[in-house]
Structure 1
Amino acid sequence: MMTTIMTNSTKQRLKKPTVKMMVVPVLFSVLAACTGGGPENAPVNQNQGNNGGNNYSGPPPQTDDVQRFQTYFWSNVLDKCGDCHNEGGQSPTFARQDDVNLAYAEANTVADLGSPADSRLVAKVLSGHNCWLSSNQACADTMTSYITNWAGNSGNASTEIELSDPPTLSDPGATKNFPEDPTLFQTYVYPLLTQYCSDCHKESATTPISPFFASDDINSAYAAAQSRINLDTPADSRFVTRLRSEFHNCWDVCEYDDPNLVSDSDEMEAAIAQFSDAIPVSQLDPDTVSSKAMTLYNGILASSGGRHEVDAIATWQFKAGQNNTAFDTSGVEPALELTLNGEFEWVGGWGINLKGGSARASTANSKKLHDLIKATNEYTIEGWFAPANVTQEGPARIVSYSGGETTRNFMLGQTLYNYDFLNRSTNSDANGEPGLSTADADERLQATLQHVAITYDPVNGRRIYVNGEYTGDVDGVEPGTLNDWDDTYILVLGSETNNDFKWQGVIKFLSIHNRALTAEQVSQNFNAGVGERFYLLFNISQIINPTDEANGTNEARAYIVFEAAQWDSYSYLFNAPFFISLNPDFTPQAIPLKGMSLGINGKESPVGQAYRNLDLTLDGANYDPDAGQVVSTLGTVIGLEQGPSVDEFFLTFEQLGDKTNVRVDADPSPVPTPPDASPVASEIGVRTFEEVYATLAQMTGVSMNHPKVQATYLKVKQQLPTSEGIESFLSSHQMGVTQLSIEYCSALMDDTTLRAQTFPGFNFGGSVTAAFDATGRSALIDPLLVRVMGTGLASQPADNDVSTELNNLIDTLTACGNSCEAGRTVKVAKSVCAAASGSAVMLVQ
């Protein structure tokens, strides 16, 4: 018997409750996995395929379904499969061009419209059969989209996730784990990596390629190498298979032509084996009360369906995991592939981490966005983003379809805690301004994974949604049309087209639609979650019902089920465990469960133990045969060790049923003698960027909104101090302060009314000789000291010292005397003002 999770909300048999995350603010879907499909009739968002499809002259489609087949599937596969699967060619002839109705009949034998991802066509290209891209996974995802779009409403049928007994039931075994100290790695494996891989896999390489397992920093190299080493079976290590099967960068002997020679892959395998042999085995305490063990891939795949993607015209799931291409798998041609540049890395569990790099499309393929969005006059950009920090501004470009710094069709950006949305319309300028931003006080943007959607349509204008909710920020620009959009712009992720205004962070999913999603559809896509997820069924049958399982008499078939995923390149997410029996006739009776812990590779995980305080009873009062019983609504993260195909997980319990193994914490180590105290933090600090901006306005009397001042501030803002600590102050900060001071003083001196009010006794029209006599100097310097110098402070510069420095500056700048050029007096006055206002007198606090 199998328990079936019906992912359509009206048919869901396993009524798993809503999950609240403890570690990350991401609400994972309640087992939602409906597959979206294309609309009944061909909309404007689908390209009609290649010339062969457009020039079709055979019998017309006999039904609406054949018409959808021709539009969404057939026209897109002609140039990929038509050389073989044509009339008179290899069966099935789903790419025949003589009769689309016959092609339709043939395609139905290899396409599953109810579950497109399970189609034989998808399985074939995933195995590498005639894949037209450099990634089999990208071909499979694109083929899935072709079939999904063809399926239309029939593809909206509920997708079922069947919970069934895992194929193997193994006890947690003796396992080797990577030691914290990298010495063994440095002794055996690292020398080969630095000798033969450092031309690419090193940060300072001419063309650096992540991961940097040949880094000069041994700790960085060790961390990057671990997921590519299999300690249990060295021959299965990625380092070995890349050399042995793919001949990737072999340096001496690539193949086994001469048995007397040691191949490069043998050399690498031997080095990893030596490394592994030197590592002791981790044994589980025999008194431990534990579940059976399993790897992530022993679990049941949780469908990532449930999304509304009928009108998606470009989608990136970032599954490739290698090289520098992110594939558009929407199935809408032309595919809008992105080329990754600069510093980036692929994130485990699907995603890219932009660390100063960017991902950009070509101008020709970006035109798809212009054509398909302009046709509907509305669109949505949605994705899962994790900003690296909340100090980025400019705005920093997350997603931009632009021609430069001041021209674009649309942009999603970041300014500190705010999301920014620029859209070019007939009621905006060429840069899409005025912009729409989330409210400062709401601090919607956080440095964690968030689902963000921005929509535009001619009725509601621009809207911003964060984690499935409309932010309520109202667009102050009257909606217009998109007639002014430019088809020569390019799509860029992570920066502007000229590589300025960089954004740093992780993108795990991105999709562009040529319709404005409704609030309900945005919420649906948020609830569908992101990434590759599995249901792990940890068997506890023998603990709660210890009968003779070998003779088939154990009928409990009982499991603690987690939704689990590789969260990033360094960790796993375990979420919302529940208890269930796959035997419909079994009901738990007063089974205590206390102190549950997560184990990995023969030991309990040192971190992420969110379930050790559990104290509950599994019984019929709280148990539903279809939904099971909730164990916890929390989620937690534990560290990745050897990789998702190797790391072995299990559960331990302080008590489960009548089995106990109460955890006794070890006596704490004696408190060591405290080291010498660190120096007391300095009481002297510096003003931060916004304080500098406001202080200079107060000193000079020039408004912060003065156009030139504001423009300079936005330009140097990232160059100004962001923290008050004097230890973090750099020379580059002082240069930013100087530039802003000069602009403020220029605005002051160029405003004849303001300068006359500020320096009433100074002759700005006189020559330098006349203006800077003893009286003139006092008329300039004394008002400056009043505005710049503090009063009544315990520690401050002496007026005479500051005055002496300014007089010395005047002497230097007026040395030309009567031969000075016209206007020199005002220039010197600006310099004296900037020197005073931009000095430590203003900056230090």
Structure 2
Amino acid sequence: MFKKFLPLPFILFLTACGGESQVKQNPEPPTAESGPFIYLGPPPTTQDIQEFKVQLWENIISEDRCGGCHNSQVGQAPYFARTDDINLAYNAANELVSLRTPEDSTLVQKVAGGHNCWLSSPQACSDIMTTWIANWANIEGQTNVIKLVDPVIKDPSSNKSFPAQSTLFATHTHPLTSRYCASCHASSATIPISPYFAEQDLDTAYQAAQSKIDLNNPELSRLVLRLSKEFHNCWGDCQTNANEMLTAINSMASAIPLSVLDNNIIHSKALTLPDGIIASGGSRFEQNVIAKYQFKTGSGTTAFDTSGIEPALDLTLSGEVDWIGGWGVQFINGRAQGSTTKSKKLYDLISATGEYAIEAWVTPANVTQEGPARIISYSGSNDARNVTLGQTLYNYDHLLRTTNTNINGMPAQSTPDADEVLQASLQHVVVNYDPVNGRTIYVNGEEIQTPDTTEPGTFTDWDPSFALILGNETSGEFPWAGSIRMLAIHNRILDHSQIQQNYSVGVGERFYLLFNITDLINVPQSYFVFEVSQFDNYSYLFQEPFFISLDKSANPQSIPLIGMRIGINGSESPIGQAFKNLNLVLGSTLYNSDSGQHISRLGTLIPLENGAQNDEFFLTFEKLGTHENIMVEAQPQVPLPPPNLEPQSRIGVRIFSEINATMSQITRVPVQNSQVKASFNNLKQQLPSVTDINSFLSSHQMAVSQMAIKYCNELVEDSSLRAEYFPGFDFDLAVASAFSTNQRDLILMPLLNNALLTGMKSQADLVEVKQELNNLIDTLSLCSGATQCDSKRTKTIVKASCAALVGSAVSLLQ
């Protein structure tokens, strides 16, 4: 790719501000506090200039951005931020942007390098500048074509890897980090900042420190460079402190042996992630994004809003929140919260359209969280919100305040219990709302069939004083554990095709790694290509492998491939070898000169060792072409005898959804009955969520009893349903007549037949249960006077008998 070189005077002007203007005839560029700038110059002469003015120029002309230097009144060329003539500013800006590939624009590269970035993160400035230029170019929905090019060709090198045990770290490095860095980089700090390499718990500190230590080049370790180059948190003279840290890391590294690759192994050439090609082959639909978080910063306490829509709704991280390598944040017991002032832009821009889409890539930590646990919430307290995306066990919950729901956004829309849509894995989730179709939920590109039973309303009751918060409620009482890799808030819904488009693009920092195998198969410019990303702080994801030659004239023929493995830092990874069973032929009719040959649909995780910048990868083969190396799998160790645990009960309890379905089956009252459904939504969090009988609590029984009472009440109060269920029983009789010996069977036998006669091998004894219910009726029938013993009490006794049976172990045990 050819680069355009700029004249030296132009470069000098662009890289530094200098000089003073003698005459200022036009209005000064606005400051951050001065409010919107009113342009009084000549009008734009074309529609493209108008787009430049609205999408880019108005965002960069303030003094704290580009207008402080590159305004003609100030005197710093090029004058792309001049305020006297938009047409001349446009002419200057055209030399600095690439409308086809906005990320390659000179303006983007300058702020990415730290030049006059108005935020603490050059990455955030770069993303925002890219967005502004892309908006000017109006390239939404276009797809970028990835061009594969030859990478650096190098053999796998001998490397040092972190040992499994933390002994060396504890001896040499941890004494310094725990003593001098614990005021920030420990969970016990007043304002804890990840990574926690100063944690008192040694294993936690060891894991966190590995990405900050370069065993092969200790002088390049971040722990050293932060002291020597950035003068960060020095405890004395910075250079002396850096030398002290370097000595500690050198001592640790010198005790770790090199991993040297066996000469008999058939291997590809080697690559690191930075040697790869960025896998950005698709464009997201973001025409109506008003807030966006990609979490690229990787450190600090701020998650930047890179939507480019002012005001920027940046979020402050607090509590137990960790940055994830490859972009993302992990919530353990913390939050990311915006100010109420900046959050008001959500109120303003969503209220204006009456609709929205909240789109996120999330990984719930588990499927046992309740509350609902708050994933994303625009709220003011535990029971007051505008909108919330939450988690209850296997369900996503969509709470929204409208004129037809209450202040807490209830009733909520939730994914179906039985579908178990929410899983502890990376998922693309979109919740939509518009005043015609109401609420919809999409997961991994597909709509979840969970109709919104609440009539659509308006946002006139929304509160503009609420705050956007991730991972918790404003009170801190509903924490959510999991990771968010990306969040985008749109002030229009996303339709099905747009959701699938964004889902197919994926998320995070991803690379194509081209492993050269030319010398093994004698096909020019031949590669195995993997899509690789850092999955979390501990592993890499390898997926979508294919074989290709970059020489279009190449014609590979019948090349055998058996047993491919992934190597890292001089040795094969001990785990994650999902491709070791491959046995196929490369080339011939299966090969396409444009797209190559797909190898496998599998993906795998490889443990991270020295950090994303330093880990070196390669491939090994049992057989490739004419080369062969027979691999002998190590014999697995004989497993230890199983521990002699306490005997486990063969009896379990039904969980919340099963209890609900069982009560419906016994009483024949549908689970969709409005009264039953409302009670279930309120009590669901109090019902059992696991089948272990030892975990059953008295609070669970209280919720079970309330659900039983609600089902039985609906059964008895519905005249047609009770007539069908209890044929022949007269509910208008007084107590004395209603519960004679013969009459009682008209109540008890339908209940017992529906609850007990299920064909189970082990079941409660019908005679004994019937006697217990008879005793209950005897007790409840003790009344005096016509008023106390009328037909109203008859219904009450039937409801109580029903609830006693439905809420008993008959419904709970399995």
Q: What is the deviation of 1:535?
A: 0.8
Contact 1:50 1:78 in 2 (8 A): no
Distance 1:295 1:265 in 2: 27
Letter in 2 for 1:619: G
1:562 aligns to what?
Answer: 530
Distance 2:246 2:236 in 1: 14
Relative distance call for 1:704 and 1:741 in structure 2 (3 A) is farther
2:123 aligns to what?
Answer: 137
2:559 aligns to what?
Answer: 591
Distance 1:619 1:697 in 2: 60
Paired residue for 2:212, among 209, 228, 236?
228
Contact 2:680 2:707 in 1 (8 A): no
1:723 aligns to what?
Answer: 690
Structure 2: tracts of 5 or more residues without a match: 3-30, 718-730, 736-751, 769-805
Instruction: Please state whether the residue corresponding to 2:238 is helix, strand or coil.
Output: coil
Relative distance call for 1:205 and 1:621 in structure 2 (3 A) is same
Paired residue for 2:491, among 509, 514, 531?
514
1:255 aligns to what?
Answer: 238
Q: What is the deviation of 1:682?
A: 4.7
Distance 2:274 2:261 in 1: 22
Distance 2:590 2:671 in 1: 63
Q: What is the deviation of 1:687?
A: 7.2
- After superposition, give the CA deviation of every residue in 1:113-139 in whole Å (9 maximum; x if it has no partner): 111111111111111111111111011
Paired residue for 1:162, among 103, 123, 147?
147
1:532 aligns to what?
Answer: 509
Letter in 2 for 1:444: V
Paired residue for 2:310, among 323, 330, 333?
333
Q: What is the deviation of 1:578?
A: 1.1
Structure 1: tracts of 5 or more residues without a match: 3-47, 257-262, 546-554, 762-786, 800-836
**When the two structures are superposed, what TM-score results if normalisation uses the length of structure 2?**
0.79
Instruction: Please state whether the residue corresponding to 1:162 is helix, strand or coil.
Output: coil
Letter in 1 for 2:460: N
**Greater shift in the superposed pair: 357-366 or 643-652:** 357-366
Paired residue for 1:69, among 43, 49, 52?
52
Q: What is the deviation of 1:215?
A: 2.6
Contact 2:566 2:619 in 1 (8 A): yes
Relative distance call for 1:421 and 1:712 in structure 2 (3 A) is closer
Q: What is the deviation of 1:667?
A: 4.0
Q: In the alignment, does 2:152 pair up with 1:177?
A: no
Task: Map residues 676-687 of structure 1 onto 2, 5 A cutoff.
Answer: 677-682=644-649
Instruction: Please state whether the residue corresponding to 1:137 is helix, strand or coil.
Output: helix
How many corresponding residue pairs? 729
Contact 1:176 1:279 in 2 (8 A): yes
2:133 aligns to what?
Answer: 147
Letter in 2 for 1:511: A
**Greater shift in the superposed pair: 489-498 or 123-132:** 489-498
CA RMSD of aligned residues (A): 4.3
Distance 1:463 1:711 in 2: 20
Contact 2:143 2:282 in 1 (8 A): no
- After superposition, give the CA deviation of every residue in 1:159-201 in whole Å (9 maximum; x if it has no partner): 33221111x2111111111111111111111221222222333
Contact 1:738 1:838 in 2 (8 A): no
Relative distance call for 1:497 and 1:704 in structure 2 (3 A) is farther
Letter in 1 for 2:305: D
Letter in 2 for 1:307: R
Relative distance call for 1:668 and 1:747 in structure 2 (3 A) is closer
1:41 aligns to what?
Answer: none
Letter in 1 for 2:647: V
- After superposition, give the CA deviation of every residue in 1:496-552 in whole Å (9 maximum; x if it has no partner): 22223322211100101111121111110001110111111100011112xxxxxxx
2:194 aligns to what?
Answer: 210
Task: Map residues 55-94 of structure 1 onto 2, 5 A cutoff.
Answer: 55-79=38-62, 80-87=65-72, 88-94=74-80
1:772 aligns to what?
Answer: none
Paired residue for 1:416, among 380, 393, 403?
393
Letter in 2 for 1:159: N
Distance 2:640 2:414 in 1: 52
Q: What is the deviation of 1:738?
A: 7.1
Relative distance call for 1:96 and 1:681 in structure 2 (3 A) is same
Instruction: Please state whether the residue corresponding to 2:619 is helix, strand or coil.
Output: strand
Contact 1:49 1:76 in 2 (8 A): no
Paired residue for 1:264, among 236, 241, 251?
241
Letter in 1 for 2:456: P
Paired residue for 1:626, among 589, 594, 597?
594
Contact 2:326 2:535 in 1 (8 A): yes
- After superposition, give the CA deviation of every residue in 1:64-97 in whole Å (9 maximum; x if it has no partner): 1111111111111112111101015211111111
Relative distance call for 1:470 and 1:112 in structure 2 (3 A) is same
Q: What is the deviation of 1:280?
A: 1.1
Contact 2:543 2:602 in 1 (8 A): yes
1:644 aligns to what?
Answer: 612
Q: In the alignment, does 2:353 pair up with 1:370?
A: no
Task: Map residues 595-610 of structure 1 onto 2, 5 A cutoff.
Answer: 595-610=563-578
Letter in 2 for 1:568: D
Instruction: Please state whether the residue corresponding to 1:374 is helix, strand or coil.
Output: helix
Q: What is the deviation of 1:842?
A: 12
Q: In the alignment, does 2:221 pair up with 1:237?
A: yes
- After superposition, give the CA deviation of every residue in 1:185-234 in whole Å (9 maximum; x if it has no partner): 11111221222222333333343332222333322221121111111011
Q: What is the deviation of 1:361?
A: 1.1
Relative distance call for 1:203 and 1:697 in structure 2 (3 A) is farther
- After superposition, give the CA deviation of every residue in 1:414-448 in whole Å (9 maximum; x if it has no partner): 22222222333333333333332222232221111
1:192 aligns to what?
Answer: 176
Relative distance call for 1:696 and 1:480 in structure 2 (3 A) is closer
Contact 1:114 1:157 in 2 (8 A): no
Relative distance call for 1:103 and 1:722 in structure 2 (3 A) is same
2:380 aligns to what?
Answer: 403
Contact 2:397 2:413 in 1 (8 A): yes
Task: Map residues 660-675 of structure 1 onto 2, 5 A cutoff.
Answer: 660-669=628-637, 671=638, 674=641
Percent identity of paired positions between Structure 1 and Structure 2: 53
Relative distance call for 1:703 and 1:567 in structure 2 (3 A) is closer
Letter in 1 for 2:569: N
Q: What is the deviation of 1:634?
A: 2.1
Distance 2:706 2:579 in 1: 59
2:548 aligns to what?
Answer: 580
Task: Map residues 10-25 of structure 1 onto 2, 5 A cutoff.
Answer: none
Contact 2:285 2:498 in 1 (8 A): yes
Relative distance call for 1:476 and 1:664 in structure 2 (3 A) is same
Q: What is the deviation of 1:317?
A: 0.3
Distance 1:842 1:615 in 2: 53
Relative distance call for 1:253 and 1:204 in structure 2 (3 A) is closer
- After superposition, give the CA deviation of every residue in 1:652-703 in whole Å (9 maximum; x if it has no partner): 011111111111123444x36636633433557677667899999999xx99
Paired residue for 1:107, among 77, 88, 93?
93
Q: What is the deviation of 1:369?
A: 1.0
Contact 2:357 2:489 in 1 (8 A): yes
Contact 1:579 1:628 in 2 (8 A): yes
Distance 2:365 2:623 in 1: 41
Letter in 2 for 1:103: A
1:657 aligns to what?
Answer: 625
Distance 2:303 2:658 in 1: 42
**Greater shift in the superposed pair: 475-484 or 739-748:** 739-748
Instruction: Please state whether the residue corresponding to 1:81 is helix, strand or coil.
Output: coil
Contact 1:313 1:514 in 2 (8 A): yes
1:773 aligns to what?
Answer: none
Relative distance call for 1:100 and 1:156 in structure 2 (3 A) is farther
Task: Map residues 442-481 of structure 1 onto 2, 5 A cutoff.
Answer: 442-481=419-458
Distance 1:241 1:728 in 2: 51
Paired residue for 2:478, among 486, 501, 517?
501
**Greater shift in the superposed pair: 467-476 or 291-300:** 467-476
Contact 1:200 1:207 in 2 (8 A): yes
1:824 aligns to what?
Answer: none
Distance 1:77 1:605 in 2: 48
